[in-house]
Amino acid sequence: MALADYGTALVTGATSGIGQATALALAERGLTVHVAARRADRLEGLSQAKGIVAHAVDLRDSDAIYAAFSDLEADILINNAGVARGFAGIVNSTPEDLDATIDTNVSAVFHLLRAVLPGMTARRRGHVVNIGSVAGLYPIASAIYGGSKGAVHLLSSNLRIELQGTGVRVTEICPGRVTTEIFDHAFDDPEAVARVKDTGISELRAQDVADAILFALDAPAHVNISTLEMAPTEQTFGGMALAPLNRQ
């Protein structure tokens, strides 16, 4: 099943950044796109776009997930919603930071899968796209956020085995730094927000990631883009540079 064969998508965390760019791109391709997020005021603006159906749902509430989406015949599920509370480390975080990150980044993903996968497997068609992170593939100095994205990575890998033979594909997109709002809400201290956002590099844009998602969705039925890692040109992982190398 390529993208042209799908009719309905569900995108979480759709009121800004990657989720919003992806939802609008899918709607432009003619799909009916159900978008889920907590901020009802922003959803109202997004719902004005043709093909968008808005759901004000707190994804930390599993009962609300099942009430909203168990009967939705979604061909595509894009698990994009995520937060980075506790990014300063476990020692400097509150129990509320832990709950916010794990409940949003991990638990909600499991419940959303449980809500929509029975329909996908029964119809023998569908595509799950989990938005992971390079923080789930490589060590970073944030055990809470990195651990949550590591869970998404292993979930995606294991889910492909569970779904083998059902016709349902699973893709994990692992971006590096993206210009989104995630760090605006990661810290209570505005100076900390400014420091972590000051990378000095040209970051990925939300549309870059949305384009990668559509690339995976548009692959023919016999092709599954399993894991796609993408990053700004000047951001690298998995090694150590003793000094910057200036190449002419």
Helix (H, G, I), strand (E, B) or coil at 71: coil
Q: How far is CA 43 from CA 10, 13, 56, 171, in A?
A: 14, 10, 7, 26
Four-residue CA torsion sign, 161, 120, 64, 227: positive
Among 6, 66, 138, 145, the one annotated catalytic? 145
Contacting residues for 19 by C-beta, under 8 A, at least 6 apart: 11, 12, 13, 35, 37, 78, 80, 81
Confirm whether 145 is a catalytic residue.
yes
**Dist CA 186 CA 80 (whole Å):** 16
Residues constituting the chain: 248
3-state secondary structure of 230: strand
Residues that are catalytic: 145
